[in-house]
């Protein structure tokens, strides 16, 4: 019995010595020129994973409704039905979209790829992380994608840092 225990202990010591002498427990690494990267160490292997730069895009979605015409009255306070409220809606981030793809304030059948989407909360706040780039932002309205900011591009936002972009849906009468 004592011989068996002695041989077992000697065998374990030999395995530990062999492991240490061959650097089995030492991580290895390689240098890459593709920044930024994260290197994950495991015995005898190295795995390198590319991390894309992400920025936050956030803001509020509001809805304006009612008669927002100026009110003239003799006895203030004068009442109006014009109201702006925060709303929960689906927010779509698309490849840059041009005015030719729009029918008024709505996107005609989408011709640009959907990059990401999120939903604003009950307070109208939305937040999403997305790669650096130039995008068009739309919001769900009556089952369509709505945009009320035009130039040659529809609802354009350039993302190269954390950005706040508020979206206003306007159904009011002026």
* From-to residues of CATH 2.60.40.10 in the chain: 54-170
The predicted pLDDT at position 28 comes to: 39
| Tens-digit pLDDT string for the chain (174 aa) | 555 544 445 555 444 444 444 444 444 333 333 333 333 333 444 454 555 568 999 999 999 999 999 888 888 778 889 999 999 999 999 999 998 899 999 998 878 999 999 999 999 999 999 999 999 999 999 999 999 887 889 999 999 999 999 999 999 998
pTM for this model (two decimals): 0.66
**Which CATH entry fits the domain spanning 54-170: 1.10.3720.10, 3.40.30.10, 3.40.605.10, 2.60.40.10?**
2.60.40.10
Long-range contacts of 151-157 (CB under 8 A, 24+ apart): 151/99, 152/98, 152/99, 153/96, 153/97, 153/98, 153/99, 154/97, 154/98, 154/99, 154/101, 154/102, 154/107, 155/97, 156/96, 157/57
Whether residue 168 contacts residue 141, with contact meaning beta carbons closer than 8 Å, is answered with no
DSSP state of 151: S
* Strand duo 144-146 + 133-141: pairing: antiparallel
φ/ψ (deg, to 5) at 17: -65, -45
- SS3 state at 53: coil
């Amino acid at each position: 019995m004592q011989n068996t225990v002695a041989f077992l202990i000697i065998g374990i010591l030999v395995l530990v010595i062999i492991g240490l002498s061959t650097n089995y427990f030492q991580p290895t690494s390689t240098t890459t020129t593709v920044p930024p990267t994260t290197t994950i160490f495991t015995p005898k292997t190295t795995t390198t994973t590319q991390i894309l730069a992400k920025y936050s895009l956030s803001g509020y979605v509001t809805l304006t409704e009612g008669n927002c015409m100026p009110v003239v009255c003799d006895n203030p306070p004068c009442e109006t039905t014009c109201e702006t409220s925060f709303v929960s809606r689906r927010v779509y981030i698309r490849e840059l979209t041009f005015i030719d793809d729009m029918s008024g304030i709505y996107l005609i059948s989408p011709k640009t790829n959907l990059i990401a989407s999120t939903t604003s909360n009950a307070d109208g706040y939305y937040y999403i992380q997305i790669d650096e780039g130039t995008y068009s932002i739309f919001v769900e309205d009556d089952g369509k994608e709505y945009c009320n900011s035009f130039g040659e591009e529809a609802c354009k936002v350039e993302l190269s840092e954390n950005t706040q972009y508020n979206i206003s849906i306007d159904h009011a009468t002026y």
